[in-house]
Chains A and B, each alone.
Chain A
């Protein structure tokens, strides 16, 4: 049973398109996150949701819009994709404030051409 699952695993799309990435966790965690990993492997937080409520929005362009329909799901919609959006996007979840660590999904590799 996959604990944090993301779809799709790979996404290749043209500049200007709109795309969505979905994330689901079956761990019973109440906090979910989106992280972006660049080509140098640097992981940077984008958003954090606790019980469907946005608690962190880390200076991300407003072309990125997260949505949490319930505490087990967190989706990421990206409008007007740009070349610089190419990266690996990771969803993660944690119990409470995450003091004991996060569980990450396997990532969505987004390539904008």
Chain B
């Protein structure tokens, strides 16, 4: 069993939809939580990071962390075809230096 679980999809939504992407984890020592976006044949790029529980908003993106449930989410509002990519959650303990990734969810936003 992996430390971080993520539904691989694919997830297909119409343009303009609200997208919800989720991860669960088993290690209660994780304190730093991130979301990366990876386009095909490219490296992952950081979208958002949060520390501990709570919400963080950046434009069309909102990240939520619920440490009590060991559950994190990324919401994308008004989704666009350019959002089509694989979304990877990642997390780190307070000791740092090692980012543990989920397996990624493939998202396709259709016109």
Contact = CB atoms under 8 A, between A and B. Distances in A.
B96 A98 contact: yes
A56 B43 contact: no
Contacts, number: 63
B103 A41 contact: yes
Interface string B11-49: 000000000000000000000101010100111111001
Given A90-B44, A102-B46, A40 B99 contact: no
Contacts of A101: 34, 46, 49
Contacts of A42: 101, 103-104
B78 to A, nearest CB: 24
A71 to B, nearest CB: 14
Interface stretch (A14-22, A43-51, A60-68): A43-51
A97 interface: yes
A106 B43 CA distance: 4
A97 B98 CA distance: 8
Contact of A45 (B38, B46, B96, B98): B98
B34 A56 contact: no
Interface residues of A, number: 29
A37 to B, nearest CB: 9
Contacts of A33: 99
A2 to B, nearest CB: 11
Contacts of B109: none
B84 interface: no
A41 B41 CA distance: 11
Contact of A104 (B45, B92, B98, B104): B45
Contact of B92 (A40, A41, A98, A106): A98
B74 interface: no
Given A43-B101, A45-B100, 14 more contacts: A4-B43, A40-B8, A41-B103, A42-B103, A43-B88, A45-B98, A90-B43, A98-B96, A99-B92, A102-B99, A104-B36, A106-B42, A107-B41, A109-B41
8 contacts: A31-B97, A41-B88, A41-B103, A42-B103, A43-B44, A56-B97, A97-B97, A102-B99
